[in-house]
A and B are shown apart, each in its own frame.
Chain A
Amino acid sequence: MDSVESQIAAWRAHVADAPGVNGHDIDELEDHLRHQIAELNAAGLTADEGFLIAVKRLGDIDGLSREFAREHSGRLWKQLLVGGDDEPARSSSGWFETLAFAVAAAVVIQVVRLGRLSGLLRCSLSVTQFLNDPLLRCLSSDLSGWGVRCRPGVRLLA
């Protein structure tokens, strides 16, 4: 399994821990993620870089989980019954820190090259930004300078 496939597998496992999100949702999100990665790769990013940005654009998992839970409250209730816990334990096994560490060096090396990609990525990246903040929230810290203009957590359910 190549690197991006193992990253996607780790991402799937992480999302699967989120309350309110079921297997079909994850399939749907994964299809989206792969679409976005393919497009970023076509624009010249490496697979690892494409993965990082695609995950970032998808939004932080806690926020997504809340929105899925709001829409599928019945489903969440069943999960809570099974889990027996108001605040189901989130896996903070550090998968993302490990992942970020593994790719951060490669990303930094690419920054200079990427600077030439017509503004797709426009600023330097603070490695510590990746390493300090656990889970996906570390990607929610501002990557806007990369041309990733999404606003994490903007809810679409009025």
Chain B
Amino acid sequence: MEATLHIDKDLIAASATPLVLAILAAGESYGYAILKRVRVLSGGELEWTDGMLYPLLHRLRRLGYVTTEWRTSPEGRRRQYYMLTDDGRAALADQQRQWVAVTRALNDMWPGSGAVLTALGEA
């Protein structure tokens, strides 16, 4: 099998919240679509255990970062949609500042890896 980048599970967990908040900042969504977006955004390198997304989403709801609404999907199934709240936007902005600070520090130590900050819009 080809070698794939293994991202440490702590890093996966730490990046999960800002990723989900950022995805919801682009518009309301639901579990499966969020997960697909994560796969695309990370080029398949952030592989989540699918079901674990839901306790995370429920936590974001408890924190007031998202609101939820059950609707009927186009396939006729019950589906819970998640919408970012103003608190969620503020939390995302705070997370972005934290990640930029961390990646900037790492970037300074790793010349030539400027793509990290470019990806965060901080080039």
Segment with Cβ contacts to B, from A44-52, A55-63, A82-90, A125-133: A55-63
Report the Cα distance A58→B49, complex, angstroms.
6
Most chain B CB inside 10 Å of its own CB: which residue of A28, A71, A144, A153: A28
B53→A156 contact, CB < 8 A = yes
In whole Å, how far is B73's beta carbon from the nearest beta carbon of chain A?
7
Chain A residues within 8 Å of chain B by Cβ, number: 34
One digit per residue, 1 when the CB lies within 8 angstroms of any chain B CB and 0 when it does not, for chain A 30-46 equals 11101110000000000
In whole Å, how far is A67's beta carbon from the nearest beta carbon of chain B?
4
Extra inter-chain contacts (17) besides given A27-B80, A154-B48, CB under 8 Å? A24-B70, A24-B80, A29-B51, A31-B30, A31-B78, A32-B50, A58-B50, A64-B52, A67-B51, A67-B52, A68-B54, A68-B55, A150-B48, A151-B49, A154-B13, A156-B13, A157-B55
* Interface check A145, CB cutoff 8 A: yes
B58→A27 contact, CB < 8 A = no
Number of A-B contacts (CB under 8 A): 105
A31→B51 contact, CB < 8 A = no
In whole Å, how far is A81's beta carbon from the nearest beta carbon of chain B?
21
| Secondary structure of the B contact surface, majority rule | helix
* Interface check B1, CB cutoff 8 A: yes
A156→B47 contact, CB < 8 A = no
Closest to A158 in B: B13
Report the Cα distance A68→B32, complex, angstroms.
17
Report the Cα distance A57→B39, complex, angstroms.
13
